[in-house]
Amino acid sequence: MIEVSTDILWLLMAAAFFAGIVDSIAGGGGLITLPVLVIAGAPPLTAIATNKVQGVFGAAMAAFAYARGGHVNLHRQWKAACIAFAAAIIGALLTSSLPTEVIRLGLPVLLIAIALFFALKPGLNDLDRTARVTPVVFTLTLVPLIGFYDGLIGPGAGSFYMIGFVGLAGYGVLKATAHTKLLNFASNAGGIVAYAVVAQPWWFVGLAMGAAQMAGAYVGSRLAMRIGARLIKPLVVIAATALALKLIWDMT
């Protein structure tokens, strides 16, 4: 059963395609798809759950494309992905019992800080730098923290993963982007598992938007691999700033 009219479904799929391009390059695709789901008539919790359903497909396609291009070894990330998956389930299940509004107050500050980091820090390119933490420490600390946040609230999780890979793991911008996708897929998948229990996603709409997300993610990842940091950096700045402004607007 289709939850919306055919015309609305096509508009949602168009938004998902564009979001797939943006998300595969810089993250922040939910900034596009979540509001349009609400405008289409989805209750807030249903919109969040449906957004997780469609978003997981885009993240999967982007992860596959970057792996095929040789920018990430997905086999080496499976443990981190499992941790992100489990942390996201816990976060989603605790949405109603934790002070999420308090967390939202701090998000604009963090997102603007990310935008300033990528806009102003010299030497950010596709070359790797010295790591500040070991892969084990990164996997056991930052990955579950962001995965938990992705299940609990979600917006900006891809940007947080990316800043971690650049600032702590020492990855170049393109390599960092590639490494965020499997983790984003895993935390989205964990959110789906939890929200399928506590909410009612629009499954048909989510799957249709997911197909469009996959197409957009393929296009976006190809562009990112061709152009690299020159494309990724400004889009990260734009996406993080736009999300911060939206969160501030929602509070007013």
Which tens digits make up the pLDDT trace of 110-134? 778 777 777 776 666 677 778 889 9
pTM metric for this prediction: 0.83
pLDDT at position 100 is 61
Give the separation between CA 20 and CA 24, rounded to whole angstroms: 6
How crowded is residue 241: how many other Cβ atoms within 10 Å of its Cβ? 18
Per-residue confidence (pLDDT) for residue 196, from 0 to 100: 79
Is residue 154 helix, strand or coil? coil
What's the pLDDT score for residue 204? 93
Q: At a CB cut-off of 8 Å and minimum separation 6, what does 205 contact?
A: 2, 3, 4, 9, 12, 37, 40, 50, 54
Give the pLDDT score at 102. 64
- Within 10 A of 5 (CB to CB), how many other CB atoms are there? 11
Positions in the chain whose pLDDT score sits under 70: 96, 98-104, 106-107, 121-125, 229, 251-252
